[in-house]
Structure 1
Amino acid sequence: MPVIQHVARHRDASAPDAVAVVGMACRFPGGIGTPGDLWKALCEGADLVSEVPPDRFDSGLFVDPRRKRPGRSCTSAGGFLHGIELFDAGYFGIAPREAARMDPQQRLLLETAVEALDDAGMPRDAWAGTDTGVFIGVSSRDFGELQTARPDTIDAYTMTGLASSVTANRISHFFDWHGESIAVDTACSSALTALHRACSHLRAGAGPAALAGGANVLLNPFGYAGFSAASMLSPTGRCRPFSAAADGFVRAEGAAVVVLRRLADALADGDPVHGVILATGANSDGRTRGLALPRREAQQALLESVYAGAGIDPDDLVYFEAHGTGTPAGDPVECEALGRALGSRRRTGALPIGSVKSNLGHLEAASGMAGLFKALLVLRHGSVPPTLHAEPLHPGIDFDRWGLRPTVRGERLADRDRPVVGVNSFGFGGANAHAVLAPHPEGAGARRALRLALADAGVSAGEVDHVNAHGTGTPPNDLVEGRVIEALLPHGPSVTATKGVLGHTLGAAGAVEAAVTVLTVQHGLVPPVANLERLDPALSLDAVRGGPRKQRVDVALSNSFGFGGHNTVLVFRTAG
């Protein structure tokens, strides 16, 4: 008869002001319409920068690679959305005449707001009449500039269609949300600053939820010409973060939003949790040698303040999504600030860093959302996609001294009990923002419970033959558990889940799973996972499918991860 070797329990201790990301939606260059599309593109190392489409402006008239003519751009490269002219005005109750006067940024944000609520499993009227807030990062005035060229088209809808404030206000109006409704313009840090404001809204106890996001569209050549005149754009048409060949950034379009709730509320209501925002912060460079020149001391101070205030050890960082535009002035300053604040203070090796701009281009006001989405996906999947165009590395950045390592190739995240990821975003006027993310909180407790169980039972990870997983059938939770099993038991023991056959017996679930595990050890017969047609592609578990598997099982685990973070791991082994 098998015996229980050890029981380990752990309760997650989530920060009281932690904020959950419960819904996500996006539009990014290259036809990316979902977070899953983004992850696929990143893992494939896709370079989604292209040329200015003919429906934007005639690049032949406004591009001069030799930069000898004023009012011209040095490049026609950019990351562009597909179909920005398409909009189902009737769905939103907007008349066609009004829709024609709406900035495409307003339309994209309405669409992604609806999709993000769908992703959160929330009906449209879930928070109607509440103090739910909306915080949108937006900076582009391209649509308005085009309208000024046609004063004969001005009508009753022109002003609301052009106003940046209305990017947020339309969302509040559509959902009947009564909380703060604010458009944030801090240039390239707008979206992450909007996220900071949204988290502050929730931490102050205002409303049941908040929506944060950003948008950027490129509709005329004036921004291209202006950034070229300032020597900010890459004449070779690529963002090359951390590279010796870095020569400027590439402009890009996009829109993305997240639905946020206080973590305690999200867990209590059973919301899907894509990730947790542990801390955010924002500051300004103040006076520098020039308005658009970054200040290392301010960036460093922001990082030190955020991490110290949240009680986060630099060694807990498993990845850092840098602003990483690939500009000769920006990257060295950011890397030194990051190294002084965090990288050089680590005891566990260099900090992996990367930048999504190498794939998409620089989404300017919306760029913080692109970085946030990548960071959340890195935590979800437990791996870091490669940063493109980074080699050869910049000789003026002492990566070894600063404890930093650009992720030029894909890699698995380091195993940490409390893994966190940082996201930077900086505006060219000196407005800086930062966010610290963590995975679904069940993951940390599950890791600790499993580690304790093995250690106290005197069992090595390689001795475990089988795991009876908690496996509830809820994708976010099951993915977290699967990642824990893969990380701590990399040799790949067989895995099953009793709930696929018996259902979730709630309070009795742990006892039922323990009984099944006892029988598995006793008879050497592993039951299959019922109703499992296809394993989640993000996992590589040895899940038993199709029928029972005859297998010698000397050591088995039974997991029970309860609501609210009560985690139990039982270790069974054959008697004698």
Structure 2
Amino acid sequence: MSNGELIKGILQQIKDNRMDAREGLKRLNELKQQQVPPVEVRVKPTEDTVKLLIMDVLCRIIKIQPDELQEDLSFKEMGIDSISSVEIVRDLNDALHIHMDGIQLYDYPNISELSSYVWNEVQMNSHITVEEDKQQSLAAKEPPAKQRLNHRYEYMNDLISQFSKNNPKPTAQELPVSPPQKAESPAPEPAVSASRPTAEKLALSPVEKSAVSEAGQPLESLKPALTRPSALSLKPLHSPDRRGDEKQNTVQPPRLKLKGNHAEEAASGRAQATAAEAGDDARTVESVAQTMIPATERASSLPEGIAIIGISGRFPGASTTRELWRNLRDGVCSIGEVPEERFDIHSAYDEDRKAVQKTYCKVAGLLDNVDEFDPLFFNISPREAEMMDPQQRIFLEEAWNALEDAGYSDRAVQDTRCGVFVGCAPSDYTKHLEANSLENTAEAFTGTSSSILAARISYFLNLKGPSISIDTACSSSLVAVHQACSSLWSGECDMALAGGIRLMFTPDSIVQSSQMEILSKEGVCRPFDNGADGTLLSEGTGVVVLKPLGSAIRDRDYIYGVIRGSGVNQDGRTNGITAPSVNSQIQLEKTVYEKFDIDPADINYVESHGTGTSLGDPIEVKALTEAFRHFTADSHYCALGSIKANIGHTTMAAGVAGIIKILLSLKSRKIPPLIHYRELNEKIKLQGSPFYINTELVEWPVNKKGSRMAAVSSFGFSGTNCHIVIEEYRSV
């Protein structure tokens, strides 16, 4: 047997734990001292040995035990910095004869992805060039004492020697006793394995167990349990007196409550039920599309419809969309006086509408339990989570819930072209950080950034589509949905998450709105009513999952509805920067109907912007009437509604709240009542128009084509307007 075969056998025995590493080192050194003709002993690595080597190097550099390694844990979370990354890359280059630089650890940030990349590099550099052959021939003529049997074997010798100098020889009881593992043949193409080989199966060098993450938490505590966040509240992270004898702050920060993370409570039934068996459905997208309603063919040049395949949301009085529908169906108003535990509204209150820097309104629509979050579920340290704007935390949860509602697991969307589009703006949570001298921390820098809000779910799930935060004020989330549709139509992404979020932690927004005199002094939002005296601010978040209709049909996704067309424009110059423009609204709606070949005669419900202001409501109805009249002379067939009567104005989340209301109505085939309506605003003319006010829970009638179709509008006080048309999906 040649020396090369002997060395290979020794190394394999060490790998399989069938030989003590020191005994193997001793035998390797004996072989080196033998005066035998030199042979080429460079063993061709396999994909498995490449991954083993990477894990071995990581254990040595960051000094952790093999069983603490996780393939999906990022190198940053392992505590690898710029210095240690240089060492890791250097050792891998030396051992595998490749040319990799430190940037690769940022592009391929975990063991699984780095292994796939390095294996590709090894395959591309596996052939030995003529020049390398010459160098090896010269090396063969050197004296045996100086000859290197193989650079990789020397690396293992150095690794074992270094350990031997610093650690006593382990007893027999301490040595690994794992049974030998049979090596599998390498896959013909590099790929990242979905399974995780346990560290106990790998013959890795023992190292010190002192792994600590950057946040000071043991690496094991950062393992993301792939279960749905539960609603269990634990006690706050910090006691109320954490600042000792320092000056008491007037603004008390909401304490972050960690949610329990229980694997047995995970519920992902829909995610498991969505995988279709190969060959089970032979229908093509074209044949199924022929069964859609309406039956008439759209022009081939028209953009494909966008299917809404998943939804999730939290709104005042409703922690789920199911609860939201119950409230809408039953005509429930979820507005109430601001509780003291959220913020002190009474200190900012003055019944005089003209009082400077005061509010004449004490009510709002607020979410419950905004201080609860399970950071470890999303692989976030508790310290970082506490510095995060709760808007980031809650949108992250709802984005996950929306994907789960669509039937997609985290693994199903990883590394896919899934975009994220979020309507949002910085909240006043920064005031709580400032009050506690926490505003200038690294965690606060990212935790209060609107751009990071959209990127959180992209980072956590490794989504590769566009990730964009949008602020157009009241139209933000509807514009986000429009942008998501545009991205899908252009081919930038294959699936998208779109929505918005709005939270309040101080009275500032209410005070500022009162100074503009847009809030209701009565404390009731009455869209289109003659007694309407303003809107009400509220909180909310909603997310929808979007896919091209053909892809959704092919993948057998549940389809809540189909976006048939959307558009955005701007008011330009009006009689005030926040004043709406009837002409711009007319032009927008006409453009959407013309561009997407939509006949407004088929639209039998409009979820309006409907803020309950004396100026905005009449302008909106006038614009809708003019736009519809360009296409139809039909009268009183289209109902008007506004979710703001139930939950208030969720501003950045208002548009997606309207979409979710439409989808829930389509699912039930019922139109919920517009509450608080008593008498039509005298400035609104509905006689002879296509519209009527619906004040009862009624069956949603089909249009002339046998379908149900709705439109939703959002008009930002920035002047940015958005209009979207949604149709029922039905297959025969």
Change in 2 beyond 3 A, CA 1:153/1:199: closer
Report deviation, 1:232: 0.7
Partner of 1:377: 664
Partner of 1:283: 569
In structure 1, which of residues 419, 436, 439 is the aligned counterpart of residue 708 of structure 2?
A: 419
Structure number with higher strand proportion: 1
2:524, 2:685 → 1: CA distance? 23
> Where does structure 2 lack aligned partners over 5 or more consecutive residues?
1-288
**What RMSD, in angstroms, separates the aligned Cα atoms of the two structures?**
1.6
Cα deviation digits, residues 196-224 of structure 1 (max 9, x gap): 00001111112221100100001111111
In structure 2, which of residues 712, 716, 720 is the aligned counterpart of residue 431 of structure 1?
A: 720
1:149, 1:428 → 2: CA distance? 30
Paired AA for residue 346 in structure 2: G
Paired AA for residue 306 in structure 1: V
In structure 1, which of residues 33, 37, 44 is the aligned counterpart of residue 323 of structure 2?
A: 37
Partner of 2:491: 205
Paired AA for residue 700 in structure 2: L
Report deviation, 1:68: 4.8
- Partner SS state of residue 188, structure 1: helix
Q: What are the within-5 Å matches in structure 2 for residues 309-388 of structure 1? A: 309-342=595-628, 345-350=631-636, 351-388=638-675
Paired AA for residue 184 in structure 1: I
Paired AA for residue 289 in structure 1: N
Change in 2 beyond 3 A, CA 1:278/1:10: closer
Cα deviation digits, residues 130-161 of structure 1 (max 9, x gap): 22110000124211243334435532201101
Are 2:611 and 2:617, in contact at CA under 8 Å, matched by a contact in 1? yes
1:158, 1:166 → 2: CA distance? 11
- Partner SS state of residue 239, structure 1: coil
Question: Are 1:254 and 2:540 matched, yes or no?
Answer: yes
2:570, 2:290 → 1: CA distance? 41
Higher Cα Rg, which structure: 2
Are 1:128 and 1:175, in contact at CA under 8 Å, matched by a contact in 2? yes
Paired AA for residue 612 in structure 2: G
Partner of 2:110: none
Paired AA for residue 407 in structure 1: N
- Partner SS state of residue 388, structure 1: coil
- Partner SS state of residue 501, structure 2: strand
Question: Are 1:70 and 2:350 matched, yes or no?
Answer: no
Report deviation, 1:64: 1.1
1:394, 1:65 → 2: CA distance? 25
- Partner SS state of residue 183, structure 1: strand
Are 1:368 and 1:424, in contact at CA under 8 Å, matched by a contact in 2? yes
Question: Are 1:407 and 2:407 matched, yes or no?
Answer: no
Question: Are 1:130 and 2:416 matched, yes or no?
Answer: yes
2:382, 2:414 → 1: CA distance? 25
Paired AA for residue 92 in structure 1: F
Partner of 2:578: 292
Report deviation, 1:281: 0.6
- Partner SS state of residue 422, structure 1: strand
- Partner SS state of residue 413, structure 2: coil
Paired AA for residue 382 in structure 1: R
Are 1:127 and 1:208, in contact at CA under 8 Å, matched by a contact in 2? no
In structure 2, which of residues 332, 340, 343 is the aligned counterpart of residue 54 of structure 1?
A: 340
Question: Are 1:236 and 2:522 matched, yes or no?
Answer: yes
- Partner SS state of residue 26, structure 1: strand
Are 2:635 and 2:688, in contact at CA under 8 Å, matched by a contact in 1? no
Question: Are 1:393 and 2:673 matched, yes or no?
Answer: no
Report deviation, 1:345: 4.9
Question: Are 1:111 and 2:400 matched, yes or no?
Answer: no
Are 1:140 and 1:365, in contact at CA under 8 Å, matched by a contact in 2? no
Q: What are the within-5 Å matches in structure 2 for residues 163-178 of structure 1? A: 163-178=449-464
**TM-score normalised over the length of structure 2:** 0.58
- Partner SS state of residue 370, structure 1: helix
Q: Percent identity?
A: 39
1:195, 1:39 → 2: CA distance? 21
1:53, 1:171 → 2: CA distance? 31
Paired AA for residue 425 in structure 1: S
1:248, 1:324 → 2: CA distance? 10
Question: Are 1:158 and 2:444 matched, yes or no?
Answer: yes
**TM-score normalised over the length of structure 1:** 0.73
Cα deviation digits, residues 173-231 of structure 1 (max 9, x gap): 01101111100000000000000000011111122211001000011111111110111
Question: Are 1:194 and 2:480 matched, yes or no?
Answer: yes
Report deviation, 1:34: 2.2
Paired AA for residue 439 in structure 1: E
- Partner SS state of residue 474, structure 2: coil
In structure 2, which of residues 572, 577, 589 is the aligned counterpart of residue 303 of structure 1?
A: 589
- Partner SS state of residue 22, structure 1: strand
Change in 2 beyond 3 A, CA 1:10/1:183: closer
Report deviation, 1:415: 2.1
Q: What are the within-5 Å matches in structure 2 for residues 93-112 of structure 1? A: 93-112=379-398
Are 1:336 and 1:402, in contact at CA under 8 Å, matched by a contact in 2? no
- Partner SS state of residue 433, structure 1: strand
Paired AA for residue 434 in structure 1: H
Cα deviation digits, residues 258-284 of structure 1 (max 9, x gap): 111111001001111111111111000
Larger RCO (alpha carbons 8 Å, 6+ apart)? 1
Partner of 2:279: none
Paired AA for residue 537 in structure 2: R
Change in 2 beyond 3 A, CA 1:393/1:70: same
Report deviation, 1:347: 4.1
Cα deviation digits, residues 478-526 of structure 1 (max 9, x gap): xxxxxxxxxxxxxxxxxxxxxxxxxxxxxxxxxxxxxxxxxxxxxxxxx
Report deviation, 1:378: 1.8
> Where does structure 1 lack aligned partners over 5 or more consecutive residues?
1-8, 443-560, 562-576
- Partner SS state of residue 397, structure 1: coil
Report deviation, 1:104: 0.8
- Partner SS state of residue 332, structure 1: helix
- Partner SS state of residue 400, structure 1: coil
Cα deviation digits, residues 301-334 of structure 1 (max 9, x gap): 1000001111111110110000000011100100
1:387, 1:295 → 2: CA distance? 25
Partner of 1:225: 511
In structure 2, which of residues 277, 288, 291 is the aligned counterpart of residue 11 of structure 1?
A: 291
2:493, 2:630 → 1: CA distance? 40
Change in 2 beyond 3 A, CA 1:71/1:21: same
In structure 2, which of residues 454, 457, 471 is the aligned counterpart of residue 185 of structure 1?
A: 471
- Partner SS state of residue 189, structure 1: helix
- Partner SS state of residue 106, structure 1: helix
Cα deviation digits, residues 517-561 of structure 1 (max 9, x gap): xxxxxxxxxxxxxxxxxxxxxxxxxxxxxxxxxxxxxxxxxxxx4
- Partner SS state of residue 399, structure 1: coil
Are 2:353 and 2:517, in contact at CA under 8 Å, matched by a contact in 1? no
1:90, 1:378 → 2: CA distance? 36
1:101, 1:23 → 2: CA distance? 30
Are 2:475 and 2:714, in contact at CA under 8 Å, matched by a contact in 1? yes
Change in 2 beyond 3 A, CA 1:111/1:343: farther
Are 1:344 and 1:403, in contact at CA under 8 Å, matched by a contact in 2? no
Paired AA for residue 588 in structure 2: L
Change in 2 beyond 3 A, CA 1:231/1:198: same
Report deviation, 1:16: 4.8
- Partner SS state of residue 726, structure 2: strand
2:629, 2:542 → 1: CA distance? 30
1:213, 1:394 → 2: CA distance? 31
Change in 2 beyond 3 A, CA 1:228/1:294: same
- Partner SS state of residue 687, structure 2: helix
